[in-house]
Amino acid sequence: MHITFFGAVREVTGSMHMLVNGEDRILLDCGMYQGRRKESAEKNRILPFDPSIITNVVLSHAHIDHSGRIPMLTRDSFTGRVFCSLVTRDACEYLLADSAHIQESDAEYLNYKLVRGQLSKMHQGKGGRKAYEKAARKLKKNGHRIDAALVNDLIGQFNLNGIEPLYTSDDAVKALGFFSGYPYGTPFTIGDNMTCTQYDAGHILGSAISVIRTVVNGRTITVCYTGDIGRFDKPILEDPTLVFSEQDLDIDLLIMESTYGNREHAPVKDLKPELQATLNETFERGGSVLIPAFAYGRTQELLYFIHELYQEGLVKKVPIYVDSPLATRLTKVFGEHPEVYDNDTHTTFLQKGKNPFSMPQLKFVGSVEESMALNRDESPHIVLSASGMCEAGRILHHLRHKIHNPRHTILVVGFMARHTLGRRLLDLGEAYAAAGRKGDAPMVKILNKAYPLKAHVHMIGGFSAHADKKEMLTFLKQSNLKVKKIAVVHGEEEQSLAFADILNREGFDAVVPRVGQSIRID
């Protein structure tokens, strides 16, 4: 048996590893790269294998950097199943549809720009400007919606290389037919004499640690894939599993994440007070708080904390807007699966007949028109909007309307990958604050226009859904697993290397693989 690492090795996104045993090839996650648009597009465009060779997929959780390329796999010659938890199956119904919509919208916009560029070349010279503007106006219906049919027709007429989406909405719908969901702790067959059992990873609702068992030459071999490990003592979710079934204890290879392999988060107990302080400081300035938040997990966790703060009268009860259709749908998934909530959530809300994700001040924004009106609202409020790394979605429009005003706060509550807008906002905002917020504010480009970053940028790192260095060591040392070897993945290179060094000094045998490298398990 051997495993080859195709993605999220010495980087964070694009999780994809292939376990090979005899004729079986089991794919652990099939994630999308996220980061620089051009680089990500190139990496995502082609799968590093023929889909027909994959027996089955074991999916750790629904986040797009772990699930986002499944529709590329299932639209062609893949004939297996995608195994995951019951909650992950339900969440992927919305997340993959949203991802497909983004792929289609991005392709439509890039093709529109391509045709506009060609029209501009064709109408150069004296008097050409008016002709160009007249032709360009025809590319949109009613002045604002791109006429995709006309754009595609002109791409053909002009013999241009148009952009195709990675996959379509139809591909995403088709992918869902391949999913099979199982409860935690229930073994299921994934190959010839090969089973998998999933345990709660505590990262997001439905996230799983996958333990795969098979027999090679008469000996049982066990591989454990952590996916993303969550924090301990966070609200809503159970802690990462520490007690595993007897047959799953002897791990020949542990494939372990390292997102925060050399960092420590603020204590969980400090999260609510820090959120309280940030909200109150902003409201005292008469400002609003913009929170780029992942639609699945982070949005619901923040609503939980804000609900508690409102119940306890610790902050002003300003309106709260969830401006993300996807987050709205995924909050419904949370409501449908109270069986996986932790005891505190049951005690604080459910046993009192309250919904942790419902309060009088909360409004889920639906239409684009409502979102545009909210952009212009100058009264204090809270906006939670996707995407979490500020690479797309409605958060971009909230940012461009508020970023230049020092009354407002951009609150960062999660990991921002390199080369994302969220990371630039965080780095520039922290540098400006360190300089005393004096001199010209740094400029940030949003939707091809530069804006001064005068809004306050504050990060609460403890909201991360990823375990930090200490918590990952807690998982290793306090669980009943007996681990022979660890492959460190899902971390920027310096984090993975540092974590592997820590593990080796703690007595573990840890390595950091490279893209395309294989590890043999005998």
* Whether residue 473 is found in the same domain as residue 329: no
Amino acid at the residue 277:
A
Of 39, 110, 68, 37, nearest to 390 by C-alpha is 37
| Mean pLDDT computed over every residue of the chain | 93
Alpha-carbon 107 to chain mean position: 21
Whether 2 contacts 518, CB under 8 Å: yes
* Whether residue 242 is found in the same domain as residue 279: no
Whether 227 contacts 210, CB under 8 Å: yes
Is residue 53 domain-resident?
Answer: yes
Phi, psi at 354, each rounded to 5°: -110, 150
Is residue 405 domain-resident?
Answer: yes
* Whether residue 307 is found in the same domain as residue 443: yes
CA angle, 206 as apex, 200 and 208 as ends, to 5°?
40
CATH number of the domain enclosing 482: 3.60.15.10
Phi, psi at 484, each rounded to 5°: -85, -40
- The Cα–Cα gap between 18 and 221 comes to 16
Whether 165 contacts 24, CB under 8 Å: no
Is residue 154 domain-resident?
Answer: no
Query: Given this model, what pLDDT does residue 388 score?
Result: 85
pLDDT average, residue stretch 248-264: 96
Query: Given this model, what pLDDT does residue 332 score?
Result: 84
CA angle, 513 as apex, 489 and 522 as ends, to 5°?
105
pLDDT average, residue stretch 422-437: 96
pLDDT at 126 over 70: no
The pLDDT tens digits for 138-171 are: 999 876 789 999 999 999 999 999 999 999 999 9
Q: 474 pLDDT band (50/70/90 cuts)?
A: very high
Cα–Cα separations (whole angstroms), residue 454 to 309, 414, 433: 27, 21, 10
Whether 425 contacts 457, CB under 8 Å: yes
- The Cα–Cα gap between 437 and 253 comes to 49
* Whether residue 325 is found in the same domain as residue 413: yes
pLDDT average, residue stretch 309-337: 92
Most confident of 90-94, 124-128, 336-340: 90-94
* Whether residue 210 is found in the same domain as residue 342: no
Q: For residue 388, is it left (φ>0), alpha (ψ between -120 and 50) or beta?
A: alpha
Of 171, 398, 201, 414, nearest to 299 by C-alpha is 414
* Whether residue 244 is found in the same domain as residue 327: no
Whether 454 contacts 403, CB under 8 Å: yes
Q: In what order do the strands lie in the sheet with 409-412?
A: 362-364, 320-322, 382-385, 289-292, 409-412, 456-459
pLDDT at 24 over 70: yes
Cα–Cα separations (whole angstroms), residue 135 to 3, 147, 157: 54, 12, 14
Is residue 157 domain-resident?
Answer: no
How many Cβ atoms are within 10 Å of 280's Cβ, its own excluded? 14
Last residue of a domain, one of 463, 481, 498: 463
- The Cα–Cα gap between 28 and 73 comes to 13
Is residue 147 domain-resident?
Answer: no
| CA count, 13 A, side-chain hemisphere, 335 | 12
DSSP letters, 277-321, are: HHHHHHHHTT--EEEE--TTTHHHHHHHHHHHHHHTT-S----EE
The pLDDT tens digits for 388-401 are: 889 888 999 999 99
Q: Residue 175 contacts by C-beta under 8 Å, 6 or more apart in sequence?
A: 70, 71, 73, 74, 75, 82, 92, 96
Instruction: State which residues form the domain around 353.
Output: 268-463
* Whether residue 281 is found in the same domain as residue 422: yes
Last residue of a domain, one of 446, 463, 480: 463
* Whether residue 304 is found in the same domain as residue 228: no
Is residue 153 domain-resident?
Answer: no
How much is the pTM? 0.87
pLDDT average, residue stretch 5-24: 96
Whether 91 contacts 206, CB under 8 Å: yes
The residue ranking higher by pLDDT, 223 or 356, is 223
pLDDT average, residue stretch 406-417: 92
Of 116-130, 234-248, 484-498, the range with the lowest mean pLDDT is 116-130
Of 105, 172, 140, 85, nearest to 394 by C-alpha is 105
Q: Residue 282 contacts by C-beta under 8 Å, 6 or more apart in sequence?
A: 288, 289, 380, 407, 408, 409, 456
* Whether residue 12 is found in the same domain as residue 51: yes
Cα–Cα separations (whole angstroms), residue 396 to 32, 358, 430, 451: 21, 25, 19, 12
Is residue 232 domain-resident?
Answer: yes
pLDDT at 185 over 90: yes
Is residue 161 domain-resident?
Answer: no
Query: Given this model, what pLDDT does residue 360 score?
Result: 94
Query: Given this model, what pLDDT does residue 461 score?
Result: 81
CATH number of the domain enclosing 391: 3.40.50.10890
* Whether residue 254 is found in the same domain as residue 279: no
Query: Given this model, what pLDDT does residue 338 score?
Result: 84
Of 16, 80, 20, nearest to 44 by C-alpha is 16
Amino acid at the residue 467:
A
- The Cα–Cα gap between 419 and 426 comes to 11
* Whether residue 495 is found in the same domain as residue 365: no
* Whether residue 476 is found in the same domain as residue 459: no
pLDDT at 123 over 90: no
Count the domains in the chain: 2
What whole-number percentage of the chain has pLDDT above 70?
Answer: 100
Last residue of a domain, one of 432, 463, 494: 463
